[in-house]
Amino acid sequence: MFVLLHIRLIQLRRILAGLGLFYSLLVLSAALLLIIFSYFGYRHAPDSYYLSGGVVLALLHIHLNRKDKVFISRHLAPAWLLMSVEYLAFSLPFTLGMLASDQWYLYPLFVIAVLLLSRLTLSYRSKTRYVFLGRIIPARLYEWIAAGRKTFPLFILLYLASFALCGVKSAPLICLWLINGILCAAFQENESLALLYSRHRHAKTFLRDKIRSYLMIQALLFLPPLLLASFFIPGWIGIHISFWFLQMLLLACTITLKYKSYEPAAPSGSSVLMSIVLLSGIIPFLLPLPALLLAWSYPKALHQLNRYFYDYD
């Protein structure tokens, strides 16, 4: 019953061990913050209903996307129960707040929903969509071709919304922040050495060009809605400039974090840090974090890349 959970805990322990004490504490603090936020979210209906529904939808999305479902159902039994235990354990930062609030009665309903969704044997089937993205985005920016393809309708809807809502003070900023989240999430997979070496011979030029090209595309995307928003709300020009600067920092920081722990053709070892950096864009006291992490991780990324961009001795 706890086999999967045991494996996940081993994986989590290894991730935390790889992060070191400071970042482990940061991750645990983020989990604690989630518990506190969810507690306040669950205090009143109908917010509590939306929050519970949101967590169930997120779990459903994870369940439909998980690639080990067939393996688990073939080799481990009962698969649905193992997966339910896993979901219930990892949703604790969201559900502990629910149990501690007056809306505790939602928890049994939540458990039933998890048990039901775990029995679903359906999976999303990926299709080749939006081939045109490869024609409008340069091939060397393949991370964003992939990100655009994975999230295309949502991506374009958010972008259109950032224009449509530019008369509403913070709405375009939220849309653009979400878009930046999609773009930053694209850096959670490490490329092979063949891709790393495809256009550059030195770590320094590689990293500089990578950051510069992505910042340029980001500016092309973000400046039109921000300019329009500044036209409608002139008093917010300073906020829009600061916001753009922050999004640039978030993106540059995500890229350097990726290469700080680069291992060829492996998932990024900095995924957790990247998520914290992205969240720092909306949590005021974490705002200096991307700048600090960028300054810290840039030389480390160069050092790590130099392990691969070495010359023949």
Chain residues that interact with another protein, rule: CB under 8 A: 126-128, 131, 134, 139-140, 142-143, 145-147, 149-150, 189, 191-195, 197-199, 201, 264-265, 307, 310-313
CB 181, min distance to another protein, A: 17
**Closest to another protein by CB, 149 or 240:** 149
Annotate 3-45 with DSSP letters as a single string: HHHHHHHHHHHHHHHHHHHHHHHHHHHHHHHHHHHHHHHTSST
**Closest to another protein by CB, 22 or 313:** 313
Q: Which residues pair with 267 in a beta bridge?
A: 189
Look at phi and psi of residue 20 and say left if phi exceeds 0, alpha if psi is from -120 to 50, else beta.
Answer: left
Query: In the Cβ-directed half-sphere of 100, how many Cα atoms lie within 13 Å?
Result: 13
CB 190, min distance to another protein, A: 9
**Closest to another protein by CB, 187 or 243:** 187
CB 150, min distance to another protein, A: 5
**Closest to another protein by CB, 75 or 201:** 201
CB 306, min distance to another protein, A: 11
Residues 6 or more apart whose Cβ sits within 8 Å of residue 269: 15, 18, 261, 263
User: What's CA 303's distance to the chain center, in Å?
Assistant: 25
Q: For the chain, what percentages of helix, strand and coil (3-state, to nearest 5) are there?
A: 75, 0, 25
The DSSP output letter for 137 is S
**Closest to another protein by CB, 29 or 205:** 205
Q: How far apart are CA 230 and CA 222, in angstroms?
A: 12
Look at phi and psi of residue 130 and say left if phi exceeds 0, alpha if psi is from -120 to 50, else beta.
Answer: left
**Closest to another protein by CB, 122 or 136:** 136
CB 309, min distance to another protein, A: 8
CB 308, min distance to another protein, A: 8
**Closest to another protein by CB, 22 or 310:** 310
Answer for the pair 255, 185: CB distance below 8 angstroms, yes or no: no
CB 195, min distance to another protein, A: 6
